[in-house]
Chain A
Amino acid sequence: TQLLEQSPQFLSIQEGENLTVYCNSSSVFSSLQWYRQEPGEGPVLLVTVVTGGEVKKLKRLTFQFGDARKDSSLHITAAQPGDTGLYLCAGVPSGGYQKVTFGTGTKLQVIP
């Protein structure tokens, strides 16, 4: 079973602060996705990283895939209240059919 551990589990910060969320596994993935889920809604895909060491930026959000493709991080600069939500990483295995594994989730609250 492939597990994806996210840290921290909960994060409450003031508007304007920076933060980093980590997604770690002992397994290698062919790619890794990040989703954000707002209360009462389903998760929405933010980004997919596919190459070891890849960095992708989405406005104030920076995503990095580890060199060994076992881990990833999400960094938010100058957090806004609209960033509040549950952040989920999801690992896509390599080699044939295997289901996507979702991480344990990080609940972020940005206080105005």
Chain B
Amino acid sequence: GAGVSQSPSNKVTEKGKDVELRCDPISGHTALYWYRQSLGQGLEFLIYFQGNSAPDKSGLPSDRFSAERTGGSVSTLTIQRTQQEDSAVYLCASSPRGWGANEQFFGPGTRLTVL
């Protein structure tokens, strides 16, 4: 079956522009997560969706970052007025249920470069 997909795979933008990153989770997975990864290091949690609601958005670094999920499926992470420090790989993951010892299935990520 299809795994988690993300688009675009690479995005180069100029400082100050807005970007939208898309995540298509595994069908039927109710939980969806966004993470940020810099320089091939650990994962920084951004936001967690259960269905269409986001019970935990504590990891969003500023009000320039927002995310939504529609139809319990596709999610979009939007970064407004991008800054150079936003450059990173943005990873999306889904799991059949919410937080816990459930395996998270990750997409390949979107590499964002802000010039």
Give me the interface of B with A, judged by CB distance under 8 Å.
Answer: 4, 35, 40-43, 45, 48, 55-56, 58, 91, 93, 98-101, 103-104, 106-109
Contact = CB atoms under 8 A, between A and B. Distances in A.
Contacts of A97: 55-56, 98-99
17 contacts: A33-B103, A40-B108, A41-B106, A42-B91, A42-B93, A43-B91, A43-B104, A45-B104, A88-B42, A97-B55, A99-B99, A100-B45, A102-B45, A103-B42, A105-B41, A105-B42, A107-B40
Contacts of A105: 40-42
Contacts, number: 60
B106 A44 contact: yes
A58 to B, nearest CB: 14
Given A40-B108, A99-B48, A33 B41 contact: no
B103 A45 contact: yes
Nearest to A103: B42
B50 to A, nearest CB: 9
Tell me whether chain A's interface is mostly helix, strand or loop, or mixed.
loop
B109 A48 contact: no
Interface of A: 4, 6, 30-31, 33, 39-45, 48, 50, 86, 88, 92, 97-105, 107
A43 B100 contact: no
Contact of B101 (A30, A43, A103, A104): A30
Contact of B42 (A31, A48, A92, A102): A102
Given A98-B99, A105-B42, 5 more contacts: A40-B109, A45-B103, A99-B99, A100-B104, A102-B35
A48 B40 contact: no
Nearest to B9: A40
B99 A102 contact: no
A42 B107 contact: yes
